[in-house]
Structure 1
């Protein structure tokens, strides 16, 4: 449930970032800087004082967050939401599954394979048509490269956090602070202050609270209990949430194939919990006999 809520919140982050490009006059570095700075500010009051102390693991997580977040927003700026989403979110569970097997010794298992295949099929149906329509131009090529970099960074943070399982609130706040510090010199060099308006301020506050402080707090908490690959697969629900948001708020239309993709992504979110539970119930029934 934590990862599902985080995915739904993340699904609104790309749209908020894209709106800030226009209304606030910000670029990918600026949006990432403000996201982490405000995320730390909003989460800090809910974090015990003993967890504020930085350490080497938090520094590495913050560096990884700075890389993958900026690469994702840069991919959106270069090639649009569709290409950035399909590449980043499609590659992330693959990188995570491979890294989880190599570095954590976690097996994907039959349930995990079902969920991964279902999720990737849903993602391709949801965004594939739009991504292909973007064409193989320079923007699309840059988006593919930046999206792959973002996926690698996200997978690395997920695997590292799963490996050490530090206090989730402290890891989130520390990661935000370190990420903001890493991005500050680059953001300041280009002029980090947004064009102040009611819309830009509201978008920045929203970006800091919902898809950052709330979502990452739940994400790091979930990694103390779930395998890294499971978390990355369930996180793909972000794409379905973003698509539905586009329909409800921006008047976008989805094809039948895209709606089928949304359904498959939601199914993939349920599989990791539903299949093992069904097997346990069947096992108990057999034992009772």
Structure 2
């Protein structure tokens, strides 16, 4: 049985990953300000830069063991790449129809619910009272944070946009659930090399209908390099490693700190006002993290 120290280590791994993911929006916004790029191009470069990094890490850490993957497991890792690409494309498309606020609320908040339901009824993970309380607080905090950052000029709600956002949430949820299957059987960089390599190839196929933007100023290439290295390669390696002793439901709750990081960065860098609801949402999210790490007291 894993020790409490192992649990705390893996908790901080996943929390660090979610904090890194929270910087993606700021970096994307900076690139959008300088170039006429599109969401598909940014998503492709994130995955395309991360894939060789995972390959190098596999070579250093695993050597020839990189290719020792059972055929069934290889297919599931490829499926993980498919749902990662599905999440990236669906979420970007949902924003165009429904706006950032509604799309983010659905994509971030529905995913943990899907994970919790599937974990409880399909994987038979035990949903404790403390985890359920943390889920409710984290979802409430995310709703308040995203709502506090909304703008009146947001796009009107459409059924197609809601459907795409739900598809993104499903892709995000099943990436977590599928990754949980391999949390102890394979190294995190091995899983992500296959998944992200597949995702990059699938996104490249989408460029037949949406042009791939490849011309950027030097500063934007540095931002793309950051996106590929830190919130993609490093963050997903930490996330997958952290799932060794963290349940899928708990991992999905911790990742909601992505919204908290994005809101704080928008407040610090772009001077966006958090307001009372935003501050309350931040406190609820912090409270949910404290419940998870000190869950024996709840």
Tell me the TM-score normalised to structure 1 length.
0.88
Partners of 2:190 and 2:35 in 1: CA distance:
30
Shift of 1:22: 4.3
Question: Is residue 9 of structure 1 aligned with residue 29 of structure 2?
Answer: no
Aligned equivalents of 1:245, 1:260: Cα separation in 2: 17
Q: Which residue of 2 aligns with 1:36?
A: 47
Aligned residue in 1 for 2:6: none
1:211 to partner: Cα distance: 0.9
Greater mean alpha carbon deviation, residues 99-108 or residues 113-122: 99-108
Cα distance in 1 for residues equivalent to 2:123 and 2:182 = 11
- Does the CA-based 8 Å contact 2:84-2:172 persist in structure 1? yes
Moved over 6 A (4+): none
Say which is worse superposed, 10-19 or 175-184, in terms of deviation.
10-19
- Equivalences, count: 277
- Partner residue, 1:101: 120
Equivalent runs, 1:87-166 vs 2, <5 Å: 87-131=106-150, 133=152, 137-138=156-157, 141-165=159-183, 166=186
Shift of 1:270: 2.2
Change (3 A) 1:83 1:194: farther
Whether contact under 8 Å (1:72, 1:146) holds in the other structure is yes
Structure number having the greater helix percentage: 1
User: CA–CA distance in 1 between the matches of 2:173 and 2:267?
Assistant: 29
Deviation at 1:68, TM superposition (A): 0.8
Q: TM-score, normalised by structure 2?
A: 0.85
Q: Residue 15 of structure 1: CA displacement?
A: 2.8
Offset at residue 168 of structure 1 (A): 1.1
Out of 27, 49, 73, the position equivalent to 2:63 is 49
Alpha-carbon offset, residue 79 of structure 1? 4.0
Distance 2:230 2:97 in 1: 25
Question: Cα deviation per residue 1:46-95 (whole Å; 9 max; x = unaligned)?
Answer: 22333543721211111111111222233344444322221111111101
**Are 1:206 and 2:226 matched, yes or no?**
yes
Task: Show the counterpart of 1:286.
Answer: none
Q: Cα 1:91–1:51, aligned 2, differ >3 Å: closer, same or farther?
A: farther
Q: Aligned residue for 2:5?
A: none
